[in-house]
Chain A
Amino acid sequence: MFAYVLRRFAGAVPTLFIIVTIAFFMIRLAPGGPFDLERPLDPLIMANLERAFNFDKPLWQQYLIYLGNLAQGDLGPSFTRRDFTVMDLFRTGLPVSIQIGGMALSIALVVGVFLGALAALRQNTWVDYMVVGTATFGITIPTFVIAPLLSLFFGVMMGWLPAGGWGTWQHMVLPIATLALPQIAIIARLTRGATIEALRSNHVRTARAYGLPNYVVVGVHALRAAILPVVSYLGPTAAALLTGSVVVETIFGIPGIGRYFVQGALGRDYTLVMGTVVVIACFVIVFNLIVDILYAWLDPRVRYD
């Protein structure tokens, strides 16, 4: 298993390299640059700036310089927030995003699996219909609708929670709820389907035929099989949740890193966009690895060697 993990990390290096390369050249295809303002800069200042940031060199040289810096863990300075390096931005923003995303993920997992299993065990009863109905509703409504509604109702009308901002735990409730709700819906539906299938499987029939109590039949034999598709789903989802959400961070005014990708792209902040790409790619790679290891642990038929 250890050799497998090492091999996977070795495999991640070329993956990352390809992602960085594609992203680097793609962002340069977009017209304009980081210093194009409404009022054009003085050509001299512009030339100075370009020289300072190596924009006067050919693109392939800039690319090699970027790769060299990246290899040393240097993501470069931000072009739009000139007092900060990209690393600084992530150092302050990432913990915020991870906090909110992590909480949302945990809640979604616990509540989603519980509701899904419950619906499967009470298939075709009102409990089932409630869960499925709510889940379908939850999946269809986008976060940019839920977030302002939550903010409006709990923040502005009822005044129970801050409508936006950052600082105390109260500030975290609404963003976490916004992120968790659609995930609860998806996970509940996944779990429900997988549990129904597991309950119909031959080995669950065997467990019943051998007079095992219901909690063993369901808890030990059906649910472990049912959790497998949920685990697969969690890999990319965890990476997406932990790296922040543009919508939620913008609406609630949270200093996470989700905003950087869009803001960086719009402002032609090349290094910030590249930094975001690298961070997200790393998260995706790491979480897919974690999921694969978890999967092998849950399902003995899966072996990597």
Chain B
Amino acid sequence: MDKQSILEVRGLNVEFETNDGVVHAVKGIDLDVKPGEAVAIVGESGSGKSQTTMAMMGLLASNGRARGSARYRGQELIGLSERKLNRVRGEKITMIFQEPMTSLDPLYRIGRQIAEPLIHHRGMSAKAARARVIELLDLVGIPNPERRVDSYPHEMSGGQRQRVMIAMALANDPDVLIADEPTTALDVTIQAQILALLAELQQKLGMAIVFITHDLGIVRRFADRVYVMRSGEVVEEGATETLFGAPKHPYTKMLLAAEPTGRKAAPPAEAQVLLEGRDVEVVFAAGGGWFSRSAGEVRAVDHISVALRQGQTIGIVGESGSGKSTLGRALLRLLPSEGTVRFVGQDISDADKRAMRPLRKELQLVFQDPFGSLSPRMTVGQVVTEGLKVHEPSLPARERDRRAVEALKEVGLDPAMRNRYPHEFSGGQRQRIAIARAMILKPKVVVLDEPTSALDRSVQKQIVDLLRDLQKAHDLSYLFISHDLAVVRAMADHIIVMRQGKIVEEGPTEAIFDNPQEPYTQALMAAAIDGTPFREGVVEA
């Protein structure tokens, strides 16, 4: 701790000029990074954690202004000319970003993109740079680097692209690597691989890492020191061990306690089966066109049977592409599928739109994206009552309004806000609106498709509590689709683990979590729940 800081931030302010006036995103924060140290900046969305590093790197949006000081080895970065800044960024300080899918230029081969900083900072020849790129790709664990160097970004998976970004970041042996939510967009098992890679590379190469994240699980396993940020300020700072062991600031305490807790008991064995799918199969045709035959089929859901009983919550767990959302949609008859689907004993496998309409009231769906799933041109009251107009058209307007007030109250929103538009609400509030829209119809079964994934941890917890309260009050059955095991554990009494359209393992929640049988489930659990640090020397709290 007596080493000189290589990054020294003092009184850094970031402001954005917007139509609604000046937004003060970062409010005079101090921050230090010492050589070889892993520092985490933790905060929920809007805390200013990303903008802090963007300001240092001269990457603020055109309406953003930075004031204060950020020094790299004594050199002031704020207000530095672009030419001088370009000698620091990409060479001494490098960055990897949250969006592996879009952070690489889709039009150029990855080898060329990794080589660019080598050529421009070190004056390497194209040939020498290519040799170094292959070396780097090998270092970050890309198989067949000689061949992959000529790949385009779209030919690689998200995890591989993030490895490519890491290779680019390491190219010039930087002093500091800034990782801005580098694993947020990735599946849990891939997340674990990328984090392990970063930890390993840090030990091998000895650079400092600034890790920006909202995920405290990652912080605990990765960082030496933590800064907790909230609305542009650092509320607490300290060694990881101390901060996790004895948090001082109430916000830190709240964040640490934000993981959803509690378990759900299974419904009685005699509870009625409400929604049942037997041998459900969904096949998508892939490719093909006018003059060419279909290139192939994707079996998104491959002979899966589910039986959801009254009062039960089945958690469907899997990584992206596992078919979990497709299964949910097939069971709601929103997609054509093979196999039998029954709702309260009635066969609805071949029910068309018209036949399904009366049942839609009982079978509701809540989506992941609270921003995209509410019409921006309707007031909250209109959004919530839209279903009533279809299913109970005879209801007088006054009664409809009364039901809207009731539904909004039930999801913990002030009914007086029902004349506002969705954009005036936060992500968590919008998800409450989406839930109210489903609940107002008094459904029996609700399919919840990643309802908490777009939300901050502290908000997630509230939504989980809300969903559990509603379930108790109305004896609802949930099909809870999620990749987030901590949330599923708190919500579901039965779990189905899916991979590539098939069930890998299924059983009561406790059994799946405490004693997973299949290697894939074990890997999933290890990646998400296991507290083992990625780095040696980090003591667990």
Contact = CB atoms under 8 A, between A and B. Distances in A.
Interface string A175-215: 00000000000000000000000000111111111111110
A299 B107 contact: yes
Contacts, number: 82
B106 interface: yes
A205 B103 contact: yes
A202 B97 contact: yes
B111 to A, nearest CB: 13
B482 interface: no
Contact of A202 (B86, B99, B107, B168): B99
Contacts of A123: 62
Contacts of B121: 211
A211 B85 contact: yes
Main secondary structure of the interface of A (DSSP, over half): helix
A204 B106 CA distance: 11
Contacts of B88: 211
Given A203-B102, A203-B103, A211 B291 contact: no
A208 B152 CA distance: 20
Q: For this complex, into which size category does the number of interface residues on chain B fall?
A: 20 to 34
Main secondary structure of the interface of B (DSSP, over half): loop
Given A211-B121, A216-B120, A206 B104 contact: yes
Nearest to B104: A203
A210 B86 CA distance: 7
Contact of B90 (A10, A203, A211, A221): A211
A123 B62 CA distance: 10
Given A209-B94, A214-B82, A224 B107 contact: yes
A209 B95 contact: yes
A301 B152 CA distance: 8
Nearest to B102: A202
A36 B87 CA distance: 80
A294 interface: no
A220 B109 CA distance: 13
Given A11-B290, A206-B97, A301-B154, A212 B120 contact: yes
Contact of B105 (A10, A203, A213, A298): A203
6 shortest A-B CB distances, which residue pairs? Answer: A211-B90, A210-B90, A211-B86, A202-B102, A203-B105, A211-B89
Given A123-B62, A209-B94, 9 more contacts: A202-B97, A203-B102, A205-B103, A209-B89, A211-B89, A213-B86, A213-B120, A216-B120, A221-B108
22 contacts: A7-B291, A11-B290, A11-B291, A123-B62, A201-B102, A203-B105, A203-B106, A204-B105, A206-B105, A209-B57, A209-B90, A209-B95, A211-B90, A211-B91, A212-B116, A212-B117, A213-B120, A224-B107, A299-B107, A300-B152, A301-B106, A301-B152
Interface of A: 7, 10-11, 123, 201-214, 216, 220-221, 224-225, 298-301
